[in-house]
Amino acid sequence: MSDARWLEIEASIASAVRHFAAAAEIFDTCRSDTEGLQAYLAEMGFMHAMQAAHTSFEAALIGILNLFGEEPPSRAQWHADLIRRVSRVVNGRPPILSDALAGAANETRQFRHVAARAYDDFDWQRAARTVGYARQLAADLPEAISRFRRAIDP
């Protein structure tokens, strides 16, 4: 499919990968015993990178659904519905994400909720789990999207 809309989808994937990787790097370079402004900058930088990554990721998925004339989910829990939908066959469209990547995406989705609403309760130890999923998405997402694109347009 040589549709020009892939330009925006690819840009959103590249943005997601960049932000997931940066979040992991921030996490690796900051220590949980950091205090004051340095701790604040690390926490906010990490949380914002995770939010930006997952938001870019969702934009790419919605862009792909649009290619198929598929309405994106619209219920209150549409973020979770989106991941669930793109990880299965719908009207002949193959899954976009493997079960493993869908699981990783669900973890970053849940963390984004924490980052957006519970930032005063940030906990480096709890964030450690999510960082592994961010690394997985940064590493595997480009190939997953390429594989999907080849499947729909060999």
| pLDDT, tens digit, 9 for 90 and up, residues 3-37 | 787 999 999 999 999 999 999 999 998 866 678 89
> How confident is the prediction for the chain on average, in pLDDT?
91
Output b/e per residue, 70-85; b: 16+ Cβ within 10 A. Answer: eeebeeeeebeebbeb
Number of separate domains in the chain: 1
**Residue 129 and residue 107 in contact, taking contact as beta carbons nearer than 8 Å:** yes
The answer to whether residue 1 sits within a structural domain is no
Q: What is the pTM of this model?
A: 0.92
The answer to whether residue 118 sits within a structural domain is yes
**Distance from C-alpha of 78 to C-alpha of 64, rounded to nearest angstrom:** 16
Tell which residue, 127, 86, 88, has the closest CA to residue 107. Answer: 127
What are 15's two structure tokens? 């943005």
| pLDDT, tens digit, 9 for 90 and up, residues 44-94 | 899 999 999 999 999 999 999 999 999 999 999 999 999 999 999 999 999
Tell which residue, 89, 88, 82, has the closest CA to residue 108. Answer: 82
The answer to whether residue 119 sits within a structural domain is yes
The answer to whether residue 86 sits within a structural domain is yes
Tell which residue, 99, 102, 107, has the closest CA to residue 132. Answer: 107
The answer to whether residue 48 sits within a structural domain is yes
1 has pLDDT over 60: no
106 has pLDDT over 90: yes
**Distance from C-alpha of 15 to C-alpha of 30, rounded to nearest angstrom:** 22
The answer to whether residue 96 sits within a structural domain is yes
The answer to whether residue 56 sits within a structural domain is yes
Q: Residue 137 sits in a domain of what CATH number?
A: 1.20.120
What range does the domain containing 37 cover?
A: 6-152
The answer to whether residue 113 sits within a structural domain is yes
